[in-house]
Structure 1
Amino acid sequence: MPIEVLPVRPSFVARVIGADLTALSPAATAAIGTAIDTYSVLIVPDQHLDDDHLLTLGKTFGDVEPPRNHRVVQRLKHAELADISNLDANNRLRAADDHRRLDSLGNRLWHSDASFREVPGALSMLFAHVVPPAGGETEFADLRAAYDALDAPMQARIEGLAVEHSIFHSRGQLGHTDYTDAERAALPPVLHPLVRVHPVSKRKTLYMGSHASHIVGWPMPDGRLLLRDLMEHATQREFVYRHAWRVGDLVIWDNRCTMHRGRSYDDATHPRDLRRVTTKDLSMLQPA
């Protein structure tokens, strides 16, 4: 049975019905690829994926990005999977002062996965095993539409600008700075364009988020104010979709033209177990 792609909005977010992500046919794989290039966020409900299935799914769509699993005993089967949960290695709720918990709170800020790497994230696939009874949603912002909505003078002003991204900048915004020199050296700041062209759709899109520290060559206050203005613009309700998770949901999104953030929930009481695989944006290695 062919899969159905049902738009949630005309060009942003769609639901994929009839897909079995444990056994994708070439036709279904191609259909999902076309849909993600069109809608940027896909919701695929009622899936039954273990860690093997999730890793295989990620590899179907590209080279897998290694997650930043530092100072943690691996809870998941594969090191390539990112553990988006509030659980420790023994599947117990993390303590309030647990380093991994404090680090993960940065995921509640708007960001694009792995923009702090020279080769950032392309597609992310996040699967829900356990969800809390309230809260814990994920919001997505359409950076293509946000760019299109800028007036011509602003589009001209930001063309060609480079932005420095750092994971430690985003975590520092929440006051969490407990990182070793070795951890900082392993993830030095990187530069990415503020405006980029999507490698498939060829649409211009903003590229920013909480990892974006400052605009290269600008006075720090001026650059940060502009980035803040653009963030406020891009996260207006007209550009944002909020996903309320259900167990069995698999959400795929394109980091090259979206931002996302997790929303708060009672993580001291209720478990939330989501697992993610992210592919590499190898287009960033290609000459412009």
Structure 2
Amino acid sequence: MIAAKRLHPLFAAEITDLAVSAPIPDAVFSDIEAAFRRHSVLVFRDQPITDDQQIAFSERFGALETTKVGTAGAGGKLIVLSNMDEGGAVVPASDRQVLNNRANRLWHADSSFKAVPAKASMLSARLIPSKGGDTEYISMRAVYAALPGRLKQAVENKVVIHDYAYSRSKIDPALVTDAERAAVPPVRQAMVIDHGADLGRSLYLGAHAARIEGMAEDEGRALIDELMAFATQERFVYAHKWQPHDLILWDNRAVIHRATPFESATEKRLMVRTTIAGDAPTLVAAA
């Protein structure tokens, strides 16, 4: 049996006494999967892993997404989130990777702009700044459960258009290339996902949510903004302060997340992400 220490009253847990780089018996891995389903966010401390070890552990949870066009290492299994060049020097604030890192400070679910969005993400802290650069998570199951009746009625059977270009334009209108627009056109997602009788429903929103199908744009935008304002209350947020070699796994269909700022002009940050692919569109799991 694994030990899971709860990190927040509503969700998130730390898994102790486990080295993910070592062989993990099937029975132990089943416990990890059960804890992941229950807590949505799992923290594994002190995991000084290599890229290959991260890939191997991630693939226990399912096939991995490959990196999209326009991202460093396109077509590979790793996303490198860094503010450094190949020589290790800090890049200027106008650099594309810095702008993309700024976009990650918006609340979002990874790959919600894909027709079959990600199941989960795994992030490894390779190099962290002395302060800031943390990651915050929101339990969207807890948010849905706490919605007033009026808002629960408002979200029922809604379809949201998620658009990568829409979210990136909030940072810089020129940040998305024509190739990226062609590779990730707007997609339809359920606003509410049903996780089963034991877990209930969750909202599925975030920065990529551009508009609501069948609603006037201003009306739909107002509803999205109201829901996000409700969701981002402090009571729903787990704020993770990174330690060297932390490894975090989170459920992209049950939580949203964002990075917090740090002194990116002077301090270095290097994080490596793998993304476990989803197995069906969200509309299949719509409530």
TM-score by length of structure 2 reads 0.94
Equivalent residue for 1:262?
A: 259
Q: Please give the alpha-carbon distance, in whole angstroms, between the structure 1 residues aligned to 2:65 and 2:196.
A: 18
Distance 1:11 1:110 in 2: 18
User: Structure 2: which 5+ runs fail to align?
Assistant: none
User: Which residue does the alignment assign to 1:196?
Assistant: 193
Do 1:168 and 1:177's aligned partners in 2 also have CA atoms closer than 8 Å?
A: no
Residue 160 (structure 2) pairs with residue 134 (structure 1) = no
Q: Secondary structure at the match of 2:281?
A: helix
Cα separation, partners in 2 of 1:240 and 1:286, compared to 1, 3 Å: closer
Once the two structures are superposed, what CA deviation does each residue of 1:129-171 show, in whole Å capped at 9, x if it has no partner? 1100010000000100100111223212211000000111111
User: How many residues end up aligned between the 2 structures?
Assistant: 284
Equivalences for 1:48-87 in 2 at 5 Å?
48-68=48-68, 70=70, 72=72, 74=73, 79-87=76-84
Which residue pairs with 2:178 in the alignment? 181
Give 3-state SS (helix, strand or coil) of 2:229's partner.
helix
Q: Secondary structure at the match of 2:280?
A: helix
Q: 1:99 to 1:264 in 2, by over 3 A?
A: same
Aligned-pair identity in percent equals 35
Q: For residue 243 of structure 1, what is the amino acid of its counterpart? A: H
SS at the partner of 1:283?
coil
CA offsets per residue over residues 24-56 of structure 1, 9 Å max, x none? 221221111111111111111011210000111
In the TM superposition, residue 200 of structure 1 has moved relative to its aligned partner by 8.6
Q: Report the CA distance between 1:10 and its aligned residue.
A: 4.0
Does the alignment pair 1:280 with 2:277?
yes
Distance of 1:206 and 1:163 partners within structure 2: 11
Distance in 2 between residues matched to 1:201 and 1:99, nearest whole Å: 43
After superposition, the C-alpha distances for 1:186-212 in whole angstroms (9 at most, x for unaligned) are 110001011111269551100000000
Superposed CA deviations along residues 194-248 of structure 1, whole A, max 9, x for unmatched, are 1111269551100000000000110101101110110010110000010000111
Q: Could you tell me which amino acid in structure 1 is paired with residue 79 of structure 2?
A: A
- When residues 8 and 30 of structure 1 are mapped into structure 2, their CA distance, relative to the original with a 3 A threshold, is same
Q: Which position in structure 2 is the counterpart of 1:46?
A: 46
- In the alignment, residue 68 of structure 1 is paired with which amino acid? K
Instruction: Tell me the SS of whatever aligns to 2:104.
Output: helix
Is the Cα contact below 8 Å between 1:128 and 1:275 reproduced in 2?
yes
Q: Which residue type is aligned with residue 188 of structure 1?
A: P
Q: 2:102 corresponds to which residue?
A: 105
1:7 matched residue in structure 2: 6
Please name the residue that 1:159 is paired with: 156
**Pair 1:70–1:88, CA change in 2 (3 A):** farther
1:210 is the counterpart of 2:207: yes
CA deviation map 1:228-285 (0-9, x unaligned): 1100101100000100001110011100010000000011111101101111111327
From 268, 271, 284, the equivalent of 1:271 is 268
Give 1:91's aligned residue: 88
Is 2:28 the counterpart of 1:16? no
State the one-letter code of the partner of 1:83: V
Tell me, in whole angstroms, the C-alpha distance in 2 between the residues paired with 1:273 and 1:68.
Answer: 19
Q: Is the 8 A contact 1:69 1:82 kept in 2?
A: no
Aligned twin of 1:33: 33
- Counterpart Cα distance in 2 of 1:178 and 1:285: 27
| 1:175, distance to aligned residue in structure 2 (A) | 2.9
Equivalent position SS for 2:262: coil
In 1: Cα distance, 2:106 partner to 2:219 partner: 21
Report the Cα distance in structure 2 between the residues aligned to 1:168 and 1:113, rounded to whole angstroms. 14
Matched residue type, 1:29: F
Q: In 2, distance between residues paired with 1:117 and 1:179?
A: 15
C-alpha RMSD of matched pairs (Å): 1.9
Q: 1:183 to 1:56 in 2, by over 3 A?
A: same
Instruction: Spell out the pairing of 1:234-245 with structure 2 (5 A cutoff).
Output: 234-245=231-242
* SS of residue matched to 2:88: coil
* Structure 1 unaligned blocks of 5 or more: none
Contact 1:19 / 1:28 at 8 angstroms: preserved in 2? no
Check whether the contact 1:116–1:211 (CA below 8 A) recurs between aligned residues.
yes
Distance 1:117 1:241 in 2: 26
Runs of 4+ in 1 over 3 A off after TM superposition: 199-202, 285-288
Q: In 1, distance between residues paired with 2:262 and 2:282?
A: 38
